[in-house]
Structure 1
Amino acid sequence: MPATVLPEPAIEPVWTSQEGSMARDTALNRWPRIVQAMVDDVTFAAKSANEPQRLEAEELTKSLDSIREEIVADAALKPLERDGSSDIQRYNDQLVSLGTVSWLNSPWLFAECYMYRRVQSLFARSKGWKGYDIFKRQKDESLVKSRAAVEELATHFVENVMNARLGGRSSHAEEQKLLFLEMTQIALWGNATDLSLLSSIGVDELGSLQGRNAIEKNRRNVVDDASEAVWSYLAKPTRANRRIDIVLDNAGFELLTDLVYGAYLLESGQADYVVFSVKDFPWFVSDATHSDIDSLLEHLDNSVLFPNRKYIEPLVRRLRCLFEAGSMTFRSHPFWTEAASFHDFETTSPGLFKCLRSSALVIFKGDLNYRKLTMDGLWPHETPFRAALGPLGAGSGIRILALRTNKSDVCVGVEDPVRLESLTRESPKGEWLRDGKHAVISFSDGS
């Protein structure tokens, strides 16, 4: 008998018109600054460009500045110009279905995706700036500034995973579990670029009370923590060729934590191969693209930028080896840069949906993926995660793990009323929803 799929929940997505919301603040304050930074980037890059590119850059900056002025003036959203990609029509169809909407009075998720897609269309329709990553300079600078965290992560992986080979020691089940919890915490908090948040326990401490206490301390700010359930699922004997998919969020240091997490899942025997999903083009400032993976490894190979080579070199060698062997691969798909909620996954991209259904586990990283998973709706916080997933929850057949630090108003899975009351009391203005210091490790087995 086929599993029963839950009906679409009656929850509306958050709008940029909602006073006091993160959506409103983002539209009013952050979007104009982000677009201005784009103008500044193109202006800087044009200084070293050839004459045709410089002339075209002037037009690009005018168009970008026009977008910024529209946001400030709360102009109506207008149809996207065609650039040869099929998703343009889907954006415009969504816009028609919404009726008359403006920058400060529209569904937040749609308007934000629309903004980045409109910017991409400018470059896609250009001659000398096709494929230009308007955010690359910021991504590279962020990685270089994270040198201490990179060195600490490399040390942790080489000593506790590569050298210890804990994954192959079946007699040490408790150590394997604790290492999984630790590595999952690293993947979760990777966008903090500060591993001082983590215990970084040593291999000799994994089975000790000290190791357990350190990991528990790190989990206190995880308001929905399903890591034990995920471990129980992954630790079960399974068929060969088990694939785990990781839908990436940010480039830079967070991307490194994700690659290391994928390598750990392979070393520990929890995955036979790992597939990373990247964006087709520059997206939401720091989201990872195919070229960001290459750039990351090239930066780590640079002994001037990263002079402490003891652990970084063996880490990079291992990552390159896993990519070359096909144990780790990456792919992109237009769906990841569309404005659709993931609730529309099966109807919008049935092929990708079917592919992910065959995965042993799909790990969604970051705030934007979490917003799309939950339809960017202001659910009651005690709503179970699998209920907020709608068609991707019960009966979907997709096993989902969301690793997300809280940076927007939507958050579900806080099913303990005592914990929810405590959070409300400690953060009367809802700071725990946005401060990046609280997080979720949410899991649905799709059954």
Structure 2
Amino acid sequence: MESLSKEPSSESDQPEDDHPVKSDSEPNKISRALRTEFDAKYQIVNLQTPLNAFMSGHYKQSFAFFTLRSRLPVILTNAIDTLTRDKSELVAQFASNDFAQAAREELKIIIGLISQLKYELQTDKPFHNFTGEEPDRELWNNFISHLPNNERTFYQASSLHAECYLHRKLHSFLENSIFLKSYDYFAKVKELALTDSMEDVLALTKHTRRSENNLEVFNELLKINMWSNCNDVASEAVIGKQTNRQVLENVSATDEYVIVNQAAEIWRCLDNQKRKKQKQVDFILDNAGYELFSDFILAEFLIEKGLATKVRFHVKAHPWFVTDVTERDFKWTLEYLSQHADYIISLIGKKFLQFIDEGKFELVPTSHFWTSPHAFYSMTHTDPDLYKSLQQSKLLVFKGELNYRKLLQDVCWDSTQETSTCLRGFLPSNICVLRRVKSEVISGLAEGVGQALSRKDPHWMVSGSYGVIQFVDGTREFGY
């Protein structure tokens, strides 16, 4: 999950403690006065998120506040800029000559709706019901109606709810249009996330041929997959896009940044002696691009080494959090790889398509639960069929930041709290989490690790420089 394709660099767009004021110049005084006025008007308190509270823009010293104040407006601005820049192209693509003028008028309307949503975000307005033809309209309206009155605005709500609402509204403007129903504001961004990484794709492909079937290789693949999230369009991590091949050449060099690594437990979960038993593994995907390719590589290893007989991939029902994988992204990636000019890349793409044909890879029919505001513990009553489907799996692999936040309900847990406790009963099967840490939501750390990291780097929880490979054992409950 990623939040934007570009970020402003001005001081006012960064957390205040990142940029201490160096002088009492008039612009600085004005800036502080405006921030103080905003805080007072929208009841923002200059505190960190309290322990066991939901992450929220209500707390100014939280990454949630920074996201709402600085990151989300940029997403909406980027969408407006894309529609404006590509207007002629979009009209030609989605409307015949007879309806070109009508399509242009509709584009203006959509741009206006996005601008209105941006205004509502920046002025802490309440969430509105969905009134169009959204297939999940009832789900969303029921959710909004059951929120407490003081948790229905952008800054007072849980940041998980606020961000999901914003992205859902953004897509609703398209699906309720006449001409642009199938358009994705960020399709080009996602395509570039792959096409700009083809040298890394080739390197990863070559690196993973003829791999051994043992824990050491499996552990290496998990770390490569977890760090592949650094290729998202907003990455600012120490281990970023420019170091992919360095990671491949010496994966162990990243070990100091992997603050939980339960690869051995995940390996034991999959490497049992019941070779004839069908073993299904489910991937709940995050980003398109190089990360999705890395997901395919990890899934290929599971199939070829007998750790799984089928890998099922769960994608988002519609464009979501900019770079999340949709059905269109999934299929486009496989076709692009299979038709690539490089023979090795083409061969691996064709192999993945063959796995689809053989039923070794499966694209799961989309569920609107993954694009709902609900934390995962509510799945048992919100989408019981999806929960039952996940119970058929030997291992559930949850990718990325948003999935992690939904697993833990976006709560500021004590970092040493057992992850199984934080799941609040959500345990359809064994769970694996591969995540770069990009918010103050975390659990399962050893005693003293969080404090040591805070002394070393006060912003370690939001930098994306650290990662976790975590496992929650579901066998005792479900008897695998």
Structure 1, gaps ≥5 residues long? 1-9, 168-175, 202-213
Instruction: Give the Cα separation in 2 of the matches to 1:310 and 1:55.
Output: 45
Percent of paired sites with the same residue: 27
Q: Which residue of structure 1 lines up, in the alignment, with residue 403 of structure 2?
A: 369
Q: Which residue of structure 2 lines up, in the alignment, with residue 58 of structure 1?
A: 108
Which of 298, 301, 309 pairs up with 1:272?
A: 309
Which of 98, 102, 105 pairs up with 2:156?
A: 105
Instruction: Give the Cα separation in 1 of the matches to 2:122 and 2:248.
Output: 45
On the 8 A contact 1:198/1:218 being kept in 2, the answer is no
The answer on 1:135 being equivalent to 2:186 is yes
On the 8 A contact 1:273/1:327 being kept in 2, the answer is yes
Which of 413, 417, 421 pairs up with 1:379?
A: 413
- Code of the aligned partner of 1:439: G
Q: Which residue of structure 1 lines up, in the alignment, with residue 284 of structure 2?
A: 247
Q: Which residue of structure 1 lines up, in the alignment, with residue 19 of structure 2?
A: none
Which of 217, 222, 230 pairs up with 1:184?
A: 222
Residue aligned with 1:220, SS: helix
Q: Which residue of structure 1 lines up, in the alignment, with residue 370 of structure 2?
A: 336
Deviations 1:315-371 (A, max 9, x none): 112111111111101112111000001111111111111111120000000000000
- Code of the aligned partner of 2:143: Q
Q: Number of aligned residue pairs: give it.
A: 402
Shift of 1:23: 0.5
Deviations 1:255-286 (A, max 9, x none): 11111111111011100010000011000000
Which of 240, 247, 253 pairs up with 1:217?
A: 253
Structure 2, gaps ≥5 residues long? 1-50, 232-240
On the 8 A contact 2:220/2:251 being kept in 1, the answer is yes
Shift of 1:301: 4.1
Q: Which residue of structure 2 lines up, in the alignment, with residue 324 of structure 1?
A: 357
- Code of the aligned partner of 2:149: G
The answer on 1:28 being equivalent to 2:35 is no
Equivalences for residues 35-184 of structure 1 within 5 A: 35-48=76-89, 49=91, 50=95, 51=100, 52-85=102-135, 87-96=136-145, 97-100=147-150, 101-157=152-208, 159-161=209-211, 166-167=212-213, 176-184=214-222
Residue aligned with 2:265, SS: helix
Shift of 1:221: 1.1
For structure 1, which segment, 290-299 or 60-69, has the greater mean C-alpha deviation from structure 2 after superposition?
A: 290-299
On the 8 A contact 2:310/2:359 being kept in 1, the answer is yes
Residue aligned with 1:189, SS: helix
The answer on 1:357 being equivalent to 2:406 is no
Deviations 1:103-132 (A, max 9, x none): 222110011111111112111111111121
Instruction: Give the Cα separation in 2 of the matches to 1:109 and 1:130.
Output: 26
Residue aligned with 1:224, SS: strand
Instruction: Give the Cα separation in 2 of the matches to 1:302 and 1:314.
Output: 9
Shift of 1:302: 5.0
The answer on 1:445 being equivalent to 2:473 is yes
On the 8 A contact 2:438/2:461 being kept in 1, the answer is yes
Which of 50, 58, 69 pairs up with 1:17?
A: 58
Instruction: Give the Cα separation in 2 of the matches to 1:145 and 1:330.
Output: 25
Q: Which residue of structure 2 lines up, in the alignment, with residue 298 of structure 1?
A: 335
Shift of 1:197: 6.7
Q: TM-score, normalised by structure 1?
A: 0.86
Shift of 1:215: 4.6
